[in-house]
Amino acid sequence: MKPLAFADLRTAMFQPQALPAWAPAQWDRAVPQARTADLLARVAGGAERAGLLAQLPAEPLRHLVGALKLAQRQATELRNEVAHVAAALAPIGVPVVLLKGAAYSMLNLPAAQGRLVSDIDILVPRQRLADVESALMIGGWVSTHRDDYDQRYYRRWMHELPPLRHVHRGTVLDVHHAIAPLSSRWHPDAAKLLAASQPITGDAAVRALADVDLLLHSALHLYLEGELERGLRGLIDIFALLDDFQHDPTFLARLQARADELGLQVPLAWALRYMVLLLQQPVGDELRRRWPQADPARPVGAWQRCQDAMFVRGLAPPHASTSDIWSPQARAMLYLRGHLQRMPLWRLVPHLVRKAGRAWFRQRKSA
């Protein structure tokens, strides 16, 4: 199936020892696909850890080293910025609970290796949101959305404040009070996530979600996403977390219990299915037993086959070599599906009409 035509990219991510023997045509396919999927630095990191960079051809090596240096610089900047955020919130006694890529990086998880992080996501108690916003404004962060409609949209319907940008450093901070939009049908209790969070260092002011919650948040975030250009990266995050955390023999049982508690079994099973289907990496018998939906070899009905056809296209790297004539339609349908997961139809239609009108006006103005 053409939308799955990124076998070389999978090889580069999971079998870097094969890279020195690659033909130029393989590099010509894999490097553009990795770049569009935001995975080039991850490929480079795998080659570096395997001690293979010196054996690679000069032209692809230039791209890999550039991406790796960018990821390393971002990791350093992230640690500095987390310290600034913690200092800004210290006077009000609210710890910094990191989410997604920032958490992976600060915890030094394998999921962070070669992963680009363009902003920092934190989770705070909703009842302290006004205090947090005031403290961050004093620290130099300002809202990136000045439009009244955008402000109302975020504050009434979403699970986060409008993104904040620091006036001097230009860093972007996303302040969440939940891990799913308020208008979504998925409502995991953020208080439970905060209560189970763990200190990253000896300082309890900088924390991350518990291991099971990190994976569940990654799965839910991808499940609700409508723009899946980086969907393959999200699946690799889930695979890397699962592969790492399963060293604890109690992890899968705790993951299943926590998904039941938070009502997230459907997004979790969905993410595991497409992780297995697209990454084509072996998973243990226990995972298949607990989540049989994740097994692509399991017989499914027509509706599931239709969903698979859409998601295989939508989650593939957004590159011409991994697309066919149905890929644009699949991405459009998944865009609508993602928005419907986030808000009801009666709210979604006027929101999308407004977004389309604003985009048309900006295009006319710039023409």
pLDDT at residue 312, as a whole number: 92
Domains of the chain: 2-366 (3.30.460.40)
Residue 198 C-beta-side C-alpha neighbours within 13 Å: 12
Mean pLDDT calculated for residue range 325-344: 88
pLDDT at residue 217, as a whole number: 97
Mean pLDDT calculated for residue range 126-144: 93
The pLDDT tens digits of the residues spanning 97-108 come to 999 999 999 999
The band of 286, judged by pLDDT with boundaries at 50, 70 and 90, is: very high
Q: Given a cut of 70, is residue 3 above it in pLDDT?
A: no
Report which of 258, 286, 287 is spatially closest to residue 271, judged by C-alpha positions. 287
The separation between CA 307 and the C-alpha centre of its own chain, rounded to angstroms, equals: 21
Share of the chain above pLDDT 70, in %: 96
Q: Given a cut of 90, is residue 187 above it in pLDDT?
A: no
Residue that the structure tokens 């948040």 belong to = 217
Q: Which contacts of 322-329 are long-range, i.e. CB under 8 A and separated by 24 or more positions? A: 322/2, 322/3, 322/4, 322/5, 322/6, 322/33, 323/2, 323/3, 324/2, 324/3, 327/3
Pairing of strands 164-166, 141-143: antiparallel
Q: Given a cut of 80, is residue 352 above it in pLDDT?
A: no
Pairing of strands 206-208, 96-99: parallel
**Higher pLDDT among residues 1 and 241, named by residue:** 241
pLDDT at residue 367, as a whole number: 61
The pLDDT tens digits of the residues spanning 306-331 come to 999 999 999 999 998 998 899 999 99
pLDDT at residue 48, as a whole number: 95
The band of 4, judged by pLDDT with boundaries at 50, 70 and 90, is: low
The pLDDT tens digits of the residues spanning 228-279 come to 989 999 999 999 999 999 999 999 999 999 999 999 999 999 999 999 999 9
pLDDT at residue 250, as a whole number: 97
| Mean pLDDT score across all residues of the chain | 90
Helix (H, G, I), strand (E, B) or coil at 208: strand
pLDDT at residue 245, as a whole number: 97
Helix (H, G, I), strand (E, B) or coil at 160: strand
Q: What is the number of other CB atoms lying within 10 angstroms of the CB of residue 162?
A: 19
- Calpha distance 238→256 (Å, rounded): 15
Helix (H, G, I), strand (E, B) or coil at 54: helix
- Calpha distance 340→286 (Å, rounded): 33
Q: Please say whether the beta carbons of 17 and 51 come within 8 A.
A: no
- Calpha distance 329→127 (Å, rounded): 42
The band of 2, judged by pLDDT with boundaries at 50, 70 and 90, is: very low
